[in-house]
A and B are shown apart, each in its own frame.
Chain A
Amino acid sequence: QKEVEQNSGPLSVPEGAIASLNCTYSDRGSQSFFWYRQYSGKSPELIMSIYSNGDKEDGRFTAQLNKASQYVSLLIRDSQPSDSATYLCAVSQAGTALIFGKGTTLSVSS
């Protein structure tokens, strides 16, 4: 059974702080790793994709991948109240369906 594990939270951070979200996965054959943001009642929105070990930065977001540890993380710098949402970690092999974690709820207080 391929699994993706996330801490469900809620993770609460003050505005301007760094939010750190973590994810582990069981399938060593996974090749593609994604972070999606989902607001209540809405469809997931792609935040970051990462395919190789190391860090990938895009604006306030940094994704980190460690395939040896089967670990993916997302850092959100200068957190804003608008970042309050559920963050879904998803993994896949190339071209196959995504396997989602249960999501971490982030709450950024102003």
Chain B
Amino acid sequence: GAVVSQHPSWVICKSGTSVKIECRSLDFQATTMFWYRQFPKQSLMLMATSNEGSKATYEQGVEKDKFLINHASLTLSTLTVTSAHPEDSSFYICSAYQGAGSNQPQHFGDGTRLSIL
């Protein structure tokens, strides 16, 4: 079945560091990928929609200069948290549809737990 791989699974780093998270679709092409963030005891909140070959679409309140998204190929999207601070500590999860347009479930990566000291 479809698999979405996310790397790394854990990151602990100092304040001010930039962190890159990779999301790969392993056995299918994904023209669109989604990035979500989940704070403790809260639900998943959509941060942005990543479109292959074009700019990402960010949700209201998400700083596009802080959360850089690159979707350079049909199997890879990256999220870079620039100059991360403790308030950016969260669980970041990517997802992708295997098909386009039709009723298909999203496949989720295993998530990246980011801790900024």
**A residues in contact (CB < 8 Å) with B:** 31-32, 34, 41-46, 49, 51, 88, 92, 94-95, 97-103
- Which residue of the partner chain B has the closest CB to A33? B103
In the docked arrangement, what's the CA distance between A76 and B45, Å? 26
Bound state CA distance, A102 and B41, in angstroms? 9
Query: In the complex, what's the smallest C-beta–C-beta distance from A11 to chain B, in angstroms?
Result: 16
Residue of B nearest to A45 (CB): B108
Q: Are A94 and B46 in contact (CB under 8 A)?
A: no
Query: Which residues of B are at the interface with A, using a C-beta cutoff of 8 A?
Result: 6, 32, 34, 42-46, 49, 91, 93, 95, 97, 100-111, 113
| CB-based contact B100/A43 at 8 Å | no
| Chain B residues closer than 8 Å to A34, beta-carbon distance | 105-106
In Å, the complex CA distance between A97 and B37 comes to 13
14 contacts between A and B (CB under 8 A): A42-B111, A43-B93, A43-B108, A45-B108, A49-B105, A51-B103, A94-B102, A95-B104, A98-B44, A98-B46, A98-B95, A98-B106, A100-B45, A102-B42
Q: Is the CB of B106 within 8 A of A94?
A: no
Number of A-B pairs, beta carbon distance below 8 Å: 53
**CB pair B44 A41 closer than 8 Å:** no
Residues of B within 8 A of A31 (CB): 103
**Are A32 and B103 CB-contacts (below 8 A) given A43-B109, A97-B34, A97-B49?**
yes
Given A42-B111, A43-B110, A43-B111, decide whether A97 and B46 contact each other with a Cβ distance below 8 A.
yes
A94 close to B103 (CB less than 8 A): yes
Closest CB of chain A to B54's CB: distance in Å?
15
A95 touches B43 (CB 8 A): no
Q: Is the CB of B32 within 8 A of A95?
A: yes
**Neighbouring B residues of A46 by C-beta, 8 Å:** 105-107
Q: What is the CA–CA distance of A2 and B50 in the complex, to the nearest angstrom?
A: 20
**Bound CA span A7–B45, Å:** 17
Q: How far is the CA of A4 from the CA of B64 in the complex (A)?
A: 25
Set of chain A residues within 8 Å of B34, measured between Cβ atoms: 97-98
Partner of B97, one of A88, A95, A103: A95
Bound: A44/B97 CA distance, A: 15
State how many angstroms separate the Cβ of B104 from the closest Cβ of chain A. Answer: 8
